[in-house]
Chain A
Amino acid sequence: MATVAEQWVLVEMVQALYEAPAYHLILEGILILWIIRLLFSKTYKLQERSDLTVKEKEELIEEWQPEPLVPPISKDHPALNYNIVSGPPSHNIVVNGKKCVNFASFNFLGLLDNPRVKAAALASLKKYGVGTCGPRGFYGTFDVHLDLEDRLAKFMKTEEAIIYSYGFATIASAIPAYSKRGDIVFVDRAACFAIQKGLQASRSDIKLFKHNDMADLERLLKEQEMEDQKNPRKARVTRRFIVVEGLYMNTGTICPLPELVKLKYKYKARIFLEESLSFGVLGEHGRGVTEHFGISIDDIDLISANMENSLASIGGFCCGRSFVIDHQRLSGQGYCFSASLPPLLAAAAIEALNIMEENPGIFLVLKEKCERIHKALQGISGLKVVGESLSPAFHLQLTDSTGSREKDVKLLQEIVNHCMDRSIALTQARYLEKEEKCLPPPRRRTGESRAHNQGGGPGCAALGRVLGPGGQPPRSTRTGLCIAAL
């Protein structure tokens, strides 16, 4: 029916055309042409392009005043007045001319002034000198580096290890080697600064989950899974990573690795684990958080740690399966484009590994000390201990914040100074407040080393005395303590 009607209309139209007078057709024709013209002509005239004259340009150049390269810094900024340590930074240090017991360095195993380590480094100095004068690719690979990589891989029971010449650059280079633009990284809110920089360099999508909150992580993973179902083509090439720390530098807490591994297989995301604090600390043999939880190291895709804490040298390493690690030899920026680690530092790290392997007892000693100090520090009015009791670096935080970060920091600094007066060196954990993604509350950090063994007693007791009820009753914020084992 409809087609018949349409046909009829068409016929009518043609007929009407024949019947119309000529002037009408001409008029309509002109109108149609006019409309076409209107359609194709520009609706407005472009403004005369107002190019600047040379003189105007010169004036603009003359006029422009940049901001100063750096804003002025007040001379009494706390960071400008460094604590200057004279002599070796071991258990007893001289800070600003004052002898103190060191609770501020990450020298957990006390290997920093170990004579064996020094002797090994000295032998290396005699043979190789100091610098390597080249990146790994261009004659900067020494036999010592290969040895160290081999030893680290064996120690961690992984296929391969790769060393970097700086701890900070390790995880910061490793993350962008794998995770690229468009990939998704799930990362703990409390992740340390090196991880944050690595993520920034990778330009991946970053999803932060609440600190150690597996439910929150699972929520994010689930959300992502829903997203993926909508767009399976994209999901097939979007890599997913979970980046966590073994012991968190910023909180002193341990990551719930078994749950993480479960989530890994459930949602098919790879785990990158940063173990700078837990390597050489946790586990029966100091292999870190995997050993602590009894998890097969193969379940973790990549483990990174620095050699600057327990191993008391400089540099960092990544370890895992060759399939993963080998890729960094061409893609890890801090590996390819940086001079390699000075051989004497590599030799020191090897010797430190030897010591760790020969005396697995030190890890137990360290653990006991950590627990003892944690216990001793409980119940100081106004200060609370933050972090796991087996963490050798933990924080003291003000129980009630004064409300302003500045005041808290000042108060904590007073506590630190007070301790310093009583020959206990502590330090405030420092942050770049503008740069941190999620700024932890101010705190003092304490590194405990096995060093305070003479120690385990006097140092600890002294610390307890100073911080304890006898000392000034401090109100609140955090400070750090590092405990050492030897």
Chain B
Amino acid sequence: MANPGGGAVCNGNLHKHEKQSDGSPSGNCAKNGIVKEAQQNGTPHFYKPIVESFEEAPLHVMVFTYLGYGLGTLFGYLRDFLRSCGIEKCNAAIEREEQKDFVPLYQNFENFYTRNLYMRIRDNWNRPICSAPGSRFDVMERVSDDYNWTFRFTGRIIKDVINMGSYNFLGLAASYDESMRTVKDVLEEYGLGVASTRHEMGTLDKHEELESLVAKFLNVEAAMVFGMGFATNSMNIPALVGKGCLILSDELNHASLVLGARLSGATIRIFKHNNMQSLEKLLRDAVIYGQPRIRRAWKKILILVEGIYSMEGSIVDLPQIVALKKKYKAYLYIDEAHSIGSVGPTGRGVIEFFGLDPRDVDVFMGTFTKSFGAAGGYIAGKKDLVDYLRVHSHSAVYATSMSPPVAEQIIRSMKFIMGLDGTTQGLQRVRQLAKNTRYFRQRLNEMGFIIYGNEESPVIPLLLYMPAKVAAFARHLLNRKIGVVVVGFPATPLAEARARFCVSAAHTREMLDTVLENLDEMGDLLQLKYSRHRKSTRPELYDETSFELED
């Protein structure tokens, strides 16, 4: 292979996947550390065993993946060359004639990946839909006449596509029905906007009602709500920590946490994903050695983690983190964007999932976008904390408050989950979600796909690896009326492109079976069943043989 990607191929051979949840020291390893069961001993509470798997891909898969990227890059260079010679037409928007002599707004190489790789498979993202994002939705058909540079709508609608992509965990995002009457009433009474900030004239009685309900739901002293989930992180972390403070952040934290940490001005150190040894080492060193250069002790240390990681499907090892945090007197900020409403016996998030006391976590953050089918975010915890944020949060002072009908949708959803509407339907949804999750994960495992994450996490990444398969997978499944989310670099490591399923309580068993059947066929068609740990059929054919078998 005399191509510039050849180097990458070699790297592929050497590339080691050390992503395991080797969090707890008491865990017992199975299959060279790939499946891990960590049992918590020595603590008074009972904790769930953490079963998370991050299976490594077979070597030949990695080789072909890097080869794929190498070829793509090579062709990219070729096409860039053709474009610069004027042989191939350049479809990208160009700078105004008057501003040609300005410093270029983008550097040419910045967009290389977008122009030459992403553009080829761009049709698999931003697919517009024209119905509620329920368990089935309608996708607007679009075609491209210029290889994905522009799209044209055909006017046809692909009806009733099974939705495996939206974070509609509890099925609360649906078109209007009678249960949403209060939302309609609020809309008619209050209108949509607020046109002021919380500090000025934008605190409505609806916000107060919502905040006390959120505090009650989470079993904490107080809560404050914000108009956007992303901004909840990025505008409140700076209010909590600043110069002279240390942030310990998981390497896979969401962009909003990263941005918030950066804006705060505190020192940031990254620990390996869900890796408690890595975290403990950082904590220990931080407490013992203090700040670099000036050698003063840190003012405070804040650990930033997420409940469920949206690209890995892993659940944070909270019992361990709480133990560490107590030992080293650090503060813990947990982003429950994906876990609130979706895990725990009554949907109260990871705290309940592990049976911990809410007082063990200093700052609860979460969003209403996912389980509650609305928009916005909250921060909850002790009253002191929330009072401080009411005064100092950037978004309380400068950003518009939450829209009243959206607030009402959250109130409605929360009451529904808590059973305050007088039914047990909410609880049933939470249970149904757990059931669906286990079923779907188990079946995928049996089929021999490599899936990541905790066995109880409703976010299920299925590893595709090769860039060409990413596109093929999503396109084929759309033809079979299944809408999936595929993600690749830069949201994941280069070689670990994946599809991500979000199971919902609204999925019926039939829907899941349809999806699974199609996935089974797709797995055979595209050779996606990489796993060497097939649980069902061939127990003795584990590691060594599958290399040849799958080729």
Mark A residues whose CB is within 8 Å of B. Answer: 52, 57, 60-61, 64-73, 77, 79-80, 82-90, 93, 95, 102, 104-107, 111-114, 117-118, 121-122, 125-134, 136-143, 145-146, 165-169, 178, 192-194, 197, 200-201, 235-240, 265, 268-270, 298, 306, 308-309, 311-314, 321-324, 326-327, 329-330, 333-334, 336-339, 341-342, 344-345, 348, 425, 427-432, 435, 445, 447, 480
Max count, chain A CB within 10 A of own CB: residue among B130, B205, B229: B130
Stretch from B67-75, B80-88, B175-183, B351-359 forming part of the interface with A: B175-183
Asked if residues B106 and A327 are in contact (CB atoms below 8 Å), the reply is yes
The residues of A that contact B192 with a CB separation of less than 8 Å are: 112, 117-118, 121, 312-314, 344-345, 348
The residues of B that contact A127 with a CB separation of less than 8 Å are: 131-132, 175-176
**A144, B63: Cα distance in complex, Å:** 43
Asked if residues A77 and B191 are in contact (CB atoms below 8 Å), the reply is no
By beta carbon, the residue of chain A nearest B197 is: A430
The residues of A that contact B403 with a CB separation of less than 8 Å are: 313-314, 342, 345
> Which of the residues B114, B166, B228 comes within 8 Å of A338, measured between beta carbons?
B228
**A113, B190: Cα distance in complex, Å:** 7
By beta carbon, the residue of chain A nearest B198 is: A82
B435 close to A (CB within 8 Å): no
**A200, B107: Cα distance in complex, Å:** 21
Asked if residues B235 and A268 are in contact (CB atoms below 8 Å), the reply is no
Asked if residues B133 and A139 are in contact (CB atoms below 8 Å), the reply is yes
> Which of the residues B126, B201, B387 comes within 8 Å of A83, measured between beta carbons?
B201
**A201, B392: Cα distance in complex, Å:** 19
The residues of B that contact A95 with a CB separation of less than 8 Å are: 201
Closest chain-A Cβ to B287's Cβ sits at a distance in Å of 5
**A197, B519: Cα distance in complex, Å:** 45
The residues of B that contact A126 with a CB separation of less than 8 Å are: 175-176
By beta carbon, the residue of chain A nearest B396 is: A79
Closest chain-B Cβ to A332's Cβ sits at a distance in Å of 11
Closest chain-A Cβ to B210's Cβ sits at a distance in Å of 13
The residues of B that contact A425 with a CB separation of less than 8 Å are: 201
Asked if residues A334 and B176 are in contact (CB atoms below 8 Å), the reply is no
The residues of A that contact B262 with a CB separation of less than 8 Å are: 201
**A428, B287: Cα distance in complex, Å:** 43
With A67-B299, A104-B196 already in contact, the answer to whether A90 and B201 are too (CB < 8 A) is: no
The residues of B that contact A130 with a CB separation of less than 8 Å are: 173, 180, 183, 373-375, 405-406, 409
By beta carbon, the residue of chain A nearest B194 is: A89
Contact mask for chain B residues 277-306; partner A; CB cutoff 8 A; 1 contact, 0 none: 000000010011000000001111110000
5 contacts between A and B (CB under 8 A): A52-B288, A82-B199, A84-B205, A87-B205, A168-B235
Asked if residues A447 and B204 are in contact (CB atoms below 8 Å), the reply is no
**A21, B373: Cα distance in complex, Å:** 101
Asked if residues A133 and B405 are in contact (CB atoms below 8 Å), the reply is no
B525 close to A (CB within 8 Å): no
B168 close to A (CB within 8 Å): yes
Stretch from B6-14, B32-40, B96-104, B533-541 forming part of the interface with A: B96-104
**A311, B194: Cα distance in complex, Å:** 11
B129 close to A (CB within 8 Å): yes
B463 close to A (CB within 8 Å): no
B473 close to A (CB within 8 Å): no
Ranked nearest first, the 4 interchain pairs of A and B with the lowest CB-CB distance are A166-B228, A70-B388, A104-B201, A338-B230
> Which of the residues A60, A87, A334, A342 comes within 8 Å of B230, measured between beta carbons?
A334
Stretch from B43-51, B266-274, B312-320, B324-332 forming part of the interface with A: B324-332
**A342, B202: Cα distance in complex, Å:** 19
**A192, B363: Cα distance in complex, Å:** 28
B398 close to A (CB within 8 Å): yes
Asked if residues B331 and A143 are in contact (CB atoms below 8 Å), the reply is no
The residues of B that contact A427 with a CB separation of less than 8 Å are: 196, 200-201
Asked if residues A166 and B263 are in contact (CB atoms below 8 Å), the reply is no
The residues of A that contact B406 with a CB separation of less than 8 Å are: 130-131, 314, 342, 345
Stretch from B17-25, B251-259, B447-455, B509-517 forming part of the interface with A: B251-259
Max count, chain B CB within 10 A of own CB: residue among A79, A131, A169, A333: A131
> Which of the residues B107, B128, B199, B229 comes within 8 Å of A430, measured between beta carbons?
B199
Asked if residues B103 and A118 are in contact (CB atoms below 8 Å), the reply is no
**A137, B125: Cα distance in complex, Å:** 5
**A272, B262: Cα distance in complex, Å:** 23
Closest chain-A Cβ to B285's Cβ sits at a distance in Å of 10
The residues of B that contact A323 with a CB separation of less than 8 Å are: 93-96, 105
The residues of B that contact A309 with a CB separation of less than 8 Å are: 195
Please count how many residues in chain B sit with their CB below 8 Å of the partner chain's CB atoms.
122
Asked if residues A314 and B400 are in contact (CB atoms below 8 Å), the reply is yes
**A265, B102: Cα distance in complex, Å:** 9
**A482, B405: Cα distance in complex, Å:** 24
Asked if residues A169 and B228 are in contact (CB atoms below 8 Å), the reply is yes
**A431, B234: Cα distance in complex, Å:** 18
Asked if residues A105 and B373 are in contact (CB atoms below 8 Å), the reply is no
**A61, B133: Cα distance in complex, Å:** 50
Asked if residues B384 and A72 are in contact (CB atoms below 8 Å), the reply is yes
The residues of A that contact B129 with a CB separation of less than 8 Å are: 139, 141-143
**A324, B92: Cα distance in complex, Å:** 11
Q: A64-B287, A65-B329, A142-B130 are in contact. List 10 more A-B contacts (CB 8 A).
A: A69-B300, A79-B391, A89-B190, A89-B196, A122-B187, A129-B373, A166-B400, A201-B263, A268-B102, A309-B195
B60 close to A (CB within 8 Å): no
With A105-B196, A134-B133 already in contact, the answer to whether A129 and B180 are too (CB < 8 A) is: yes
B475 close to A (CB within 8 Å): no
Closest chain-A Cβ to B411's Cβ sits at a distance in Å of 11
**A140, B385: Cα distance in complex, Å:** 33
**A375, B327: Cα distance in complex, Å:** 65
Asked if residues B193 and A313 are in contact (CB atoms below 8 Å), the reply is yes
Asked if residues A138 and B165 are in contact (CB atoms below 8 Å), the reply is yes
The residues of B that contact A114 with a CB separation of less than 8 Å are: 191
The residues of A that contact B106 with a CB separation of less than 8 Å are: 327
The residues of B that contact A122 with a CB separation of less than 8 Å are: 184, 187-188
Asked if residues B394 and A435 are in contact (CB atoms below 8 Å), the reply is yes
B203 close to A (CB within 8 Å): yes
**A130, B180: Cα distance in complex, Å:** 10
Asked if residues B229 and A338 are in contact (CB atoms below 8 Å), the reply is yes
The residues of A that contact B188 with a CB separation of less than 8 Å are: 118, 122
> Which of the residues B199, B200, B228, B284 comes within 8 Å of A61, measured between beta carbons?
B284
By beta carbon, the residue of chain A nearest B138 is: A143
**A470, B129: Cα distance in complex, Å:** 59
By beta carbon, the residue of chain B nearest A57 is: B288
Closest chain-B Cβ to A56's Cβ sits at a distance in Å of 9
The residues of B that contact A105 with a CB separation of less than 8 Å are: 194-196, 201-202
With A84-B204, A106-B195, A326-B93 already in contact, the answer to whether A125 and B405 are too (CB < 8 A) is: yes
Closest chain-A Cβ to B447's Cβ sits at a distance in Å of 24
Asked if residues B126 and A88 are in contact (CB atoms below 8 Å), the reply is no
The residues of B that contact A431 with a CB separation of less than 8 Å are: 397
> Which of the residues A113, A131, A240 comes within 8 Å of B373, measured between beta carbons?
A131
Asked if residues B191 and A118 are in contact (CB atoms below 8 Å), the reply is yes
Asked if residues B193 and A308 are in contact (CB atoms below 8 Å), the reply is yes
> Which of the residues B94, B375, B391 comes within 8 Å of A342, measured between beta carbons?
B375
By beta carbon, the residue of chain A nearest B133 is: A133
Asked if residues B398 and A193 are in contact (CB atoms below 8 Å), the reply is yes
B57 close to A (CB within 8 Å): no
B163 close to A (CB within 8 Å): yes
With A61-B288, A83-B201 already in contact, the answer to whether A306 and B229 are too (CB < 8 A) is: no
The residues of A that contact B476 with a CB separation of less than 8 Å are: none
The residues of B that contact A52 with a CB separation of less than 8 Å are: 288
Asked if residues A197 and B263 are in contact (CB atoms below 8 Å), the reply is yes
By beta carbon, the residue of chain A nearest B399 is: A168
With A138-B165, A143-B129 already in contact, the answer to whether A337 and B263 are too (CB < 8 A) is: no
With A86-B205, A432-B392 already in contact, the answer to whether A237 and B103 are too (CB < 8 A) is: yes
The residues of A that contact B208 with a CB separation of less than 8 Å are: 84
Asked if residues A70 and B385 are in contact (CB atoms below 8 Å), the reply is yes
**A105, B549: Cα distance in complex, Å:** 69
B189 close to A (CB within 8 Å): yes
By beta carbon, the residue of chain A nearest B331 is: A69
With A70-B388, A139-B127, A192-B398 already in contact, the answer to whether A270 and B105 are too (CB < 8 A) is: yes
